[in-house]
Amino acid sequence: MNGFTRDMSPLVDMTRRQETGPVRSARPVYVDRLPPCNNACPAGEDIQGWLGLAQAGKFHAAWQRLIRDNPFPAIHGRVCYHPCEESCNRGDLDTSVSIHAVERFLGDKATEENWSIKVEAEPSGKRVLVVGAGPSGLSAAYHLTRLGHQVEIREAGPLPGGMLHFGIPAYRLPRDILMTEISRIEAMGVKIVLNHKVEDLLAERDAGGFDAVFVAIGAQLSHHVEIPARDAAHVLDAVSLLRDVNAGERPLLGRRVIIYGGGNTAMDAARTVHRLGATEALIVYRRDRSHMPAHEFEADEALAEGVKIKWLTTIKEIAGTELTVERMAIDENGHPQPTGEIETLSADAVVLALGQDTDSHFLRRVPGIEFRPDGTVVVGPDMMTGETGIFGGGDMVPGVRSVTIATGHGKKAARYIDGWLRKQSYQPPQKHPIVTFADLHLPIYSDAVPSTQREVPVTARIGFEEVTAGLNEAAALHEARRCLSCGNCFECDNCLAACPETAIVKLGPTRGYKVALDLCTGCAVCVEQCPCDAMAMIPEPSHALDAAQ
């Protein structure tokens, strides 16, 4: 491996000039870097921290570390798109650590062993109203409760979970898993009022004596698009379809169903209609695969289950069971352009999966709240709307939409709400520099085969039972131990073994090391041998002064 390639003053590059002898120009120090997995997590999890505990077999401690940031490990281990794994440095060595699989293991173990969450903060005497029991609202309620506040959630629907419950099919997220993690939040003291649609926010805030409000109503309205339709046999939207199916209904769609759209919801809708008995589920999308919004693996799973995709095609008109479609071409800017080539398709039903909008009309009665043209609510860096004391987050605010981002919004908002309630402005901690693969000093070989999650064979996927299995304990331990501990010492003893002057002193398990400066010559061998970039050379005070002069 190469030596130091980064420029991080006052660190110096000792691979190019090493000082030995009685006078040092630089000394080694132990440092903490930011692992790329932690940096990429929208929920702000200390991934490396809980992986380190898990690889030691300390599963309860690992779960406790994980839920400091995210109360839904069993849920996120199943439905998160794990951007942490896309950023994992191990991916440049062999394959990324399967972080989501270990997270799921910890979440499932918490359920199996009935682990509970303790609220240790002193009661603040403050009350917070949360509107919406989706992932963002539930996350905010959880973190606010752990900070000592009393929280009540008011939810318009008959069940908590929002799109977790009504938008994600059960084959991806079993409902008992979802409800178990929600009930754990209720057990903390969070009150969830169902079938309660908030229409007058200010009146409900004042009547309930709430000191602050967090609005997280999500985006549960299907985006409307004008498609000429004459005597259309059966046209419905994907959000309604998924909501009805997840509520236990089985709509009759016919044998051939066309799904219009190219996002993750379109993939879920297509896989769902297959399970409802459609012999052909065809996705029609106006761009090509490289420009689709759905995640690559979502499309792969849909195709594996027999879903067909007709790329570069847009629906012009629906007349009964016949659809007039036009071929498209991608221009140099990646936008689809019409070609004039027309063909006809037939379908018993058409499912529109063209995105979701937020139903924020009731907030227009609140002075100070601003809206984007698409109905999303404008919030500041502190998640507060234009009305003092009313905060917003999740899918109802501008930005990328996902379960994990919404969960992260809930935690972020809770921190700012807590600071506002206590009249102590919350300041996020400053991040350490991110450690890259090039910063690591690793062996050139890989000796840890990744664990895999067993999947139900495609031919056996006839219902809504979960498709992907979790890891057993041995596999979870193995996978956690594939973590390279990027940027943080894991006490591998490489520095201890490499030092020619015995200047590295081991302090004991979990206590790390120190440098005996009376023995250290500043040769930097310990730094070069640290596999995870948890050591650096800094100038000696006298040399730093000389350089400044």
Residue 243 inside a domain? The answer is yes
CA 531 → CA 267, 437, 487, 488, distances in Å? Answer: 41, 10, 9, 10
- The rounded distance, in Å, linking the Cα atoms of 218 and 197 is 13
Which parts of the chain have pLDDT scores under 70? Answer: 1-22, 230-233, 444-445, 542-549
pLDDT in tens, 210-259: 999 999 998 777 777 777 776 666 888 898 899 989 888 888 899 999 99
Residue 455 inside a domain? The answer is yes
Structure tokens at 263: 């996002």
Pair 256, 374 in one domain: no
What CATH number is given to the structural domain containing 50? 1.10.1060.10
CA 297 → CA 2, 267, 289, 450, distances in Å? Answer: 34, 10, 12, 18
Residue 458: its pLDDT value, please? Answer: 81
Residue 439 inside a domain? The answer is no
Residue 360: its pLDDT value, please? Answer: 82
Pair 242, 348 in one domain: yes
Structure tokens at 526: 């310990």
Pairing of strands 512-515, 504-508: antiparallel
What CATH number is given to the structural domain containing 290? 3.50.50.60
- The rounded distance, in Å, linking the Cα atoms of 422 and 171 is 43
Residue 16 inside a domain? The answer is no
pLDDT in tens, 317-361: 988 889 999 999 999 888 999 999 999 999 999 999 988 777 888
- pTM, entire model: 0.88
Pair 62, 162 in one domain: no
Contacts for 291-300: CB closer than 8 Å, 24+ residues apart = 291/330, 291/334, 291/336, 292/262, 292/263, 293/262, 293/263, 293/264, 294/262, 294/263, 294/264, 294/266, 294/267, 295/81, 295/264, 298/264, 298/267, 298/268, 299/267
Q: How far is CA 270 from the centre of its chain?
A: 24
Pair 205, 172 in one domain: yes
